[in-house]
Amino acid sequence: MKKIRLGILGATRGLSYGMSAKKCGLPVDLVAVCDNFSPLIEKVRERLPALGLEPEYFSDFTEMLNKADIDVVAIANSANDHARFSIAALNAGKHVLSELLPVQTPAEAVALVEAVERSGKVYYYAENYCYRPGILEAARLFREGVIGDLIYAEANFVNDLAARWHLLTRGIRNHWRNYVPSTYYCTHSIGPMVFALREHPVRVTGFEVPNQEFMREHGARCGCAAIEIMQLANGVPLRSTHGNLRRSWETSMRLVGTKGSLEACHDSVVFYYPSGDCASPFEGRQMPIRPVDGIPDSVFQDEVAMQLAIFLGQILNEPQLRQYDIDVYQALDMALPGIMAYRSIVNGNTPVAIPDFREKSIREEYRHDNICTDPGVASGAELLPSHSFGEITVPDSIYEKEAALLKESMEKHFKLGFY
């Protein structure tokens, strides 16, 4: 089989696509890496040859598109900047694998959808939490009708990143993680629900957990977590909670139906159903995690390789893998609720409609809608505050400290694919 030639934008997590492809024997060659952070590129250039990977290196994305012999691009740079680079790659005739998140405004969403439609290329959204074994199995069981008709769903993604904030933000005051709204990084929790249900949420109400000292002392100026209450067109409510809270990492999803419920976490899923016994009215049965047809076990056990295999399945038009795809419309079903939820928050927690850009008739309403918290994109009335409870002031000394911690970490603890 001819190998797919891969270029990567973002030499942190983005490298995992090339590394996992090599380890799991997928027909992918990493041929180009682009990143404009020179200390990182120097480290990567030193370490990758030991893994049998020797790509070309670029600091300019347009130059990589024009000069590198690539078929596909993995977009894994700053999350608030994925849309424009995805669109550039599609316009250059490349297939796109986009890491989190797809867009940060409705205007970007319209432009991205139309670029995908115009290009005829595959756009794949790499929401890795959809492919955790427990979540994936729960989605399959739901689609098989195990719990009957859905009446409620909820999901959580909690990950206290304070101790790693210097790795994520590099001590940059205007790094996106320091100012994006609390609702923005939402697809680790909303994504698995949308993936399982294959439904478009039509409205959302948002709530923000205020900025906390344990995040502010590292430079974050936004709320530390958020809750989104969504509703499907048929009235079924969904609830998502995600963000930095003072507890250990958690990812979970609960789907409640007319016959029972499925409760899934990273690597397990339990089916709860009526037992008919008054003393114990419900029983829980641990469900086996089944393999995915067309995916070798070694790939199934590596979530990055799993994403690549699904992506390749779309490019090569392999029918057995199409049911696991996340296309541009589903990506927006996962991301737009978070974008619109923050508008709900700053407007007093009032419900806000979630547009469905499958419908061409509604695109014009949002084509120039760049309302967000990013000062590089929005200004004037379109620029929202990063924190609904009042502006957060952080001294420069905080960012200087975070930058120093990053430098120390890269010197003493660097590893390929780090955040």
Residues 136 and 64 in one domain: no
Residues 138 and 120 in one domain: no
Percent of the chain with pLDDT over 70: 99
Residues 289 and 358 in one domain: yes
Its pTM stands at 0.95
pLDDT for the residue 1 = 58
Asked if residue 309 has pLDDT above 70, the reply is yes
Residues 152 and 93 in one domain: no
Q: Of 188, 322, 197, 199, give the one whose Cα is nearest residue 266.
A: 188
Residues 264 and 351 in one domain: yes
pLDDT for 5-41, tens place per residue? 999 999 999 999 999 999 999 999 999 999 999 999 9
Of the residues 74, 108, 128, which one is the last residue of a structural domain? 128
pLDDT for 58-99, tens place per residue? 999 999 999 999 999 999 999 999 999 999 999 999 999 999
Mark 130-157 as b/e (b = at least 16 C-beta within 10 Å): bbbbbbbbbbbbbeeebbeebeebbbbb
Pull the structure tokens for residue 248. Answer: 């250990």
pLDDT for the residue 419 = 64
Show Cβ contacts of residue 316 under 8 Å, excluding neighbours closer than 6 positions. none
Q: Given pLDDT bands bounded at 50, 70 and 90, which one contains residue 279?
A: low
Specify if 143 maps to a domain: yes
Specify if 388 maps to a domain: no
pLDDT for the residue 320 = 85
Q: What mean pLDDT, rounded, does the chain reach? A: 95
Q: Given pLDDT bands bounded at 50, 70 and 90, which one contains residue 250?
A: very high
Of the residues 128, 153, 174, which one is the last residue of a structural domain? 128
Residues 144 and 103 in one domain: no
Q: Given pLDDT bands bounded at 50, 70 and 90, which one contains residue 418?
A: confident
- Tell me the CATH number at 31: 3.40.50.720
Identify the bridge partners of residue 291 per DSSP, sorted by sequence position: none
Residues 106 and 247 in one domain: no
3-class SS of residue 29: strand
Residues 338 and 368 in one domain: yes
Pull the structure tokens for residue 190. Answer: 């909303």
Residues 214 and 342 in one domain: yes
Average pLDDT over residues 290-295: 89
Q: Are 90 and 96 in contact (CB under 8 A)?
A: yes
The one-letter code for the residue type at 41 is I
In angstroms, the Cα distances linking 377 to 8, 103, 186, 218, 415 are: 24, 12, 20, 24, 33
Specify if 397 maps to a domain: no
pLDDT for the residue 339 = 98
pLDDT for the residue 278 = 64
Residues 55 and 167 in one domain: no
Do β-strands 237-243 and 150-158 pair in parallel, antiparallel, or remain unpaired? parallel
Residues 26 and 111 in one domain: yes
pLDDT for 343-399, tens place per residue? 999 999 999 999 999 999 999 999 999 999 999 999 999 999 999 999 999 999 999
Dist CA 54 CA 48 (whole Å)? 6
pLDDT for the residue 322 = 85
Asked if residue 276 has pLDDT above 80, the reply is no
pLDDT for 146-181, tens place per residue? 999 999 999 999 999 999 999 999 999 999 999 999
pLDDT for the residue 310 = 94
Q: Given pLDDT bands bounded at 50, 70 and 90, which one contains residue 417?
A: confident
pLDDT for the residue 233 = 95
3-class SS of residue 159: coil
Residues 135 and 121 in one domain: no
Of the residues 108, 128, 148, which one is the last residue of a structural domain? 128
Q: Given pLDDT bands bounded at 50, 70 and 90, which one contains residue 319?
A: confident
pLDDT for the residue 275 = 80
Q: What angle separates helix 106-119 from helix 328-346, to the nearest 10 degrees?
A: 170
Domain that holds residue 253: 130-296+323-382
Specify if 387 maps to a domain: no
pLDDT for 216-228, tens place per residue? 999 999 999 999 9
Pull the structure tokens for residue 120. Answer: 């005829």
Query: DSSP secondary-structure letter at 3?
Result: P
Specify if 21 maps to a domain: yes
pLDDT for the residue 294 = 85
Specify if 207 maps to a domain: yes
Asked if residue 312 has pLDDT above 80, the reply is yes
